Amino acid sequence: ETYFSLLEDHLTFEFLGIHFEESVQDVINDGLMAIFFFIVGLEIKRELVIGDLRNPRAAALPVERFGPGPKPVIARAPGRVNLIGEHTDYNDGYVLPFAIDRYTEVAVRPRSDRKLLAHAAAYGTTFSATLPLERAARKGDWSDYLIGILRELSAYRELEFGFEAAIAGDIPLGAGLSSSASLEVGLAVALTRLYGIEIAALELVKLCQRAESGFVGMPCGIMDQYAVYFAEANRALLLDTRSLTHRPVPLELGGTTFLVVDSRVRRRLAGSGYTDRRRECEAAVRWLAEAFPERGIRSLRDVDGTLVDSVRGEMPEALWKRAAHVVGENARVLAAVEALGRGHAEEVGKLLYASHASLRDMFEVSTPELDFLVDWGLSHGALGARLVGGGFGGVTLHLVLAEGKGTYLAELRRAYRAKFGLEAQAWEVRPAPGAARL
């Protein structure tokens, strides 16, 4: 048997009991995150291991081992960080996300029958089913995303054959870095090629959102899927979620870098306060629309700060807070774009802190752990920091001076361990390009 694995920064081969090792630093620098060998006629075990190649603490994640068969379609989709603009996407607002250099990789190959086999290395489980999936029920795990994508694709054409799929990645699950959107987009990119389905880019993004909001049952906005697909290297996307148009915004803040710190507090959005917050925003829109029928209010995008201030004390407090956050956050997104255009890192950082304060006090989605990480950054030289994602756990984003980033992270992790007894995983992220076939 022949074994192949990619782990950290070396290729290790085992052939007939003899070990070979070769540096792949040059390969890594070229951006190759995974290699699949398929040798017809041999009993082959293939294992794809993806890890953060700069961070030896990141766990390598093995993918299902294939036997011999057709050449697979391989797609890669990044995770994403939202620089600023939280809980605005499902309110027709502005967001400013960028993709990060952590990925989900999907390899699919056709079968001659209608059986489906898909293995997700992160969960160590294999999903098995037979087409068609019209009557498939939710299972409450990662396979719901696959079923949701397949049900959406079946609206474009009949899926006449099954497939085998292997899925791996190094995006922390449930951390607010869009591991679910990365999985959805990676699956959609690979499966549209496998089945020969021609679909426009924006329609593919909408398809992924429908799969999550419909079958999975998570009423998400479109930002995550949009950013994962359309992202550009070294840029954020100013996305108008009402018109579904975007403008690339260079992330050029000389001498700075972005750090992500994982609180290790996990949440499932479908079962968290995220859904409650969305319903509260919808209720706020109804209240404002009834109070001001002449304004034609359809979403919180149609509301300005003056109007929100005018109804304080009249509007139910929880609804007023949610509206105040969304309106203020939209303004902060546009201010951040202007600051980035001028290269003002300090101004961007202040906006990040203001965003977190609003998420904590007005939208009420923070936790003691997230607040600690942000407050520690404020008192230890970070230009800016805030929680990222839906809240109730997950990660914080820190804008810091590149010089001294190692010391910053080491001291932050030490302080977090002393406070909560948790190991805060942390890493530097770079703005990466969007999803692609390999």
Asked if residues 432 and 101 have their Cβ atoms less than 8 Å apart, the reply is yes
Token code pair at residue 404: 């001294």
For this structure, is 224 an active site residue? yes
Asked if residues 197 and 153 have their Cβ atoms less than 8 Å apart, the reply is yes
Helix, strand, or coil (residue 376): helix
Question: In one letter, which amino acid is 202?
Answer: L
Angle, CA 160 vertex, CA 138 and CA 108 arms, to 5°: 70
CA distance 393 to 198: 38
289: Cβ contacts below 8 Å, ≥ 6 apart: 295, 297, 298
CA distance 18 to 34: 22
Asked if residues 106 and 63 have their Cβ atoms less than 8 Å apart, the reply is no
Q: Is 349 exposed, middle or buried (0-12, 13-18, 19+ CB in 10 A)?
A: buried
Q: How far is CA 27 from the centre of its chain?
A: 25
Helix, strand, or coil (residue 190): helix
Dihedral over Cα of 104, 105, 110, 116: its sign: negative
Q: Which of 224, 240, 262, 375 is catalytic?
A: 224
- Residues forming the active site: 224
